[in-house]
Amino acid sequence: MTNVDTPTNVEAKAEPILDQTQASADDVNGTQQYLAPVVLAMQALAVDGKQAHWHIRGENFIAVHELLDKLVDHAREYADLAAERTVALGLPVDARLATIAAKNPLPALKDGFQNYGPMIQQVVAQLDAAIAVVRRAVEGLDDIDLSSQDVVIGIERGLVEDRWFLAAHLATD
Q: What is the pLDDT of residues 37-72, one digit of tens each?
A: 999 999 999 999 999 999 999 988 999 999 999 999
68-75 contact pairs (CB < 8 A, 24+): 68/123, 68/166, 70/162, 71/45, 71/123, 71/127, 71/162, 71/166, 72/45, 72/46, 74/158, 74/159, 74/162, 75/42, 75/43, 75/45, 75/46, 75/49, 75/130
For the cut 90, the answer to whether the pLDDT of residue 17 exceeds it is no
CA 150 to each of CA 11, 84, 130, 140, 146: distance values in angstroms, whole numbers, following the listed order:
40, 14, 17, 12, 6
* 3-8-11-16 Cα dihedral, nearest 10 degrees: -70
The tens digit of pLDDT for each residue in 121-145 reads 999 999 999 999 999 999 999 999 9
Burial zone of 173 (CB within 10 Å; 0-12 exposed, 13-18 middle, 19+ buried): exposed
The candidate with the shortest Cα–Cα distance to 74, out of 146, 167, 158, is 158
At residue 11, does pLDDT exceed 70? no
Higher pLDDT, 7 or 77: 77
Distance CA 143, CA 11 (A): 43
On the question of pLDDT at 159 being above 70, the answer is yes
Domain at 25-170, CATH homologous superfamily: Ferritin, core subunit, four-helix bundle (1.20.1260.10)
The DSSP bridge partners found for residue 56 are: 114
Query: What DSSP element (H or E) covers 48?
Result: helix 25-55
pLDDT of 8 higher than 80: no
Q: Using one digit for the tens of pLDDT, what is the confidence trace for 65-89? A: 999 999 999 999 999 999 999 999 8
- Rounded Cα gap, residues 7 and 98, in angstroms: 48
